[in-house]
Chain A
């Protein structure tokens, strides 16, 4: 079974530029998550989708971050304009069930460096 695919793996940009990350979840997984992991910290949930609807985006900085999940499959996370503090690994995860027992499967992440 193919895992969660993310691209690009690495991205270096200058502050105020824009960047987009793509995620393809495991086939059939209805729930998709984007996490931000700053070096030395645990992952922080940015947004959770159930199919193509947003369940939770309370931690998403909406003035610069946006995410969409068209057709309830692939998802894109965009940052515009980027700030230095956005340097982090962006992790995508998916799960079969959106409940307490559903295991999350994570991708390898996209590492962003903002100069």
Chain B
């Protein structure tokens, strides 16, 4: 299974943009890049996913490098409710979702 590398923790100020990086140098052509986040005492929730092109939704944007070896999750305006562990996951065919350690994001008022 292809692996991802994320920083253990990041800090952000409220109402500022946040860029969460993810490296996945061994990604294969059919791997989708998924992002989930886990708020304290809750199950993970889907944030966004993409294959090759950049993606936007109401929660975040996903910027994917041209060679697909890295990607960045962008929260345009962090709020206190965005404090969570963010997981970058490569999803292989047949649907297995394998979580790594993730990045713990803290947001300061």
Contacts and interface: CB of A to CB of B under 8 A. Distances in A.
A91 B41 CA distance: 11
B43 interface: yes
Interface in B30-83: 30-32, 36, 41-46, 49
Interface residues of A, number: 28
A31 B101 contact: no
A44 interface: yes
B95 A45 contact: no
A106 interface: yes
B96 A108 contact: no
B98 interface: yes
Given A42-B87, A42-B101, A42-B102, A48 B46 contact: no
B98 to A, nearest CB: 7
B96 A45 contact: yes
A109 B93 CA distance: 26
B91 A100 contact: yes
